[in-house]
């Protein structure tokens, strides 16, 4: 199935889908960040108010249709992450002043999760987020490095 309504100028970096066939995509629209929820019928619900200029590098969606997106603006090293409601409303998280977010995960039951990437001074950065969007940075991480596309899926039985 082709998704009508994708940006004519841009890239799609990451996609995710849940068992209910609701998806989320992230990337760019020209030089600005782009993300959208994908409904089971293929219709796109564009998520407004993202970082501009910027990129969305990573996305996740849980079974309840709640999502998390992450990225930033590479040239200025400004990180960006936002919780996404099932209706497509973004709620930006309060991140460090510099860095980039490369990986995200969200729990199916609690709507809590984990983000990771690089933080200030190119240090590794990871934080837990609450369902309301407050962050708890993890300590004891390497002083240099980053977390790329490898945070585990969060699932409970």
Domain assignment present for residue 119? The answer is yes
Strand, coil or helix: 83: strand
pTM, 2 dp: 0.91
Q: Using alpha carbons, select from 125, 145, 120 the residue that is nearest to residue 135.
A: 125
Domain assignment present for residue 113? The answer is yes
Domain assignment present for residue 147? The answer is no
Q: Which residue has the tokens 């990771």?
A: 116
- Residue span of the structural domain in which 100 resides: 12-137
pLDDT in tens, the chain (157 residues): 567 888 989 999 999 999 999 999 999 999 999 999 999 999 999 999 999 999 999 999 999 999 999 999 999 999 999 999 999 999 999 999 999 999 999 999 999 999 999 999 888 999 999 999 999 999 988 887 766 655 544 444 4
Domain assignment present for residue 106? The answer is yes
Domain assignment present for residue 86? The answer is yes
Domain assignment present for residue 131? The answer is yes
Domain assignment present for residue 117? The answer is yes
Q: How many domains does the chain have?
A: 1
- Listed in sequence order, the residues at least 6 apart from 7 whose beta carbon sits closer than 8 Å to its beta carbon are 27, 28, 29, 30, 34
Quote the tokens at residue 107. Answer: 């729990």
């Amino acid at each position: 199935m082709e998704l009508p309504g994708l940006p004519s100028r841009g890239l799609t970096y990451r996609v995710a889908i849940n068992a209910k066939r609701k998806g989320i995509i992230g990337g760019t629209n020209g030089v600005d960040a782009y993300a959208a929820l994908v409904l089971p019928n293929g219709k796109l619900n564009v998520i407004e108010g993202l970082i501009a200029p910027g990129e969305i590098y990573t996305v996740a969606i849980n079974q309840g249709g709640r999502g998390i997106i992450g990225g930033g603006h590479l040239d200025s090293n400004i990180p960006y992450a936002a919780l996404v409601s099932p209706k497509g409303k973004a709620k930006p998280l309060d991140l460090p002043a510099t860095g980039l977010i490369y990986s995200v995960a969200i729990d199916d039951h609690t709507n809590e999760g984990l983000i990771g990437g690089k933080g200030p001074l190119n240090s590794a950065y990871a934080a837990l987020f609450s369902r309301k969007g407050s962050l708890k940075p993890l300590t004891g991480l390497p002083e240099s490095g980053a977390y790329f596309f490898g945070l585990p899926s969060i699932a409970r039985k």
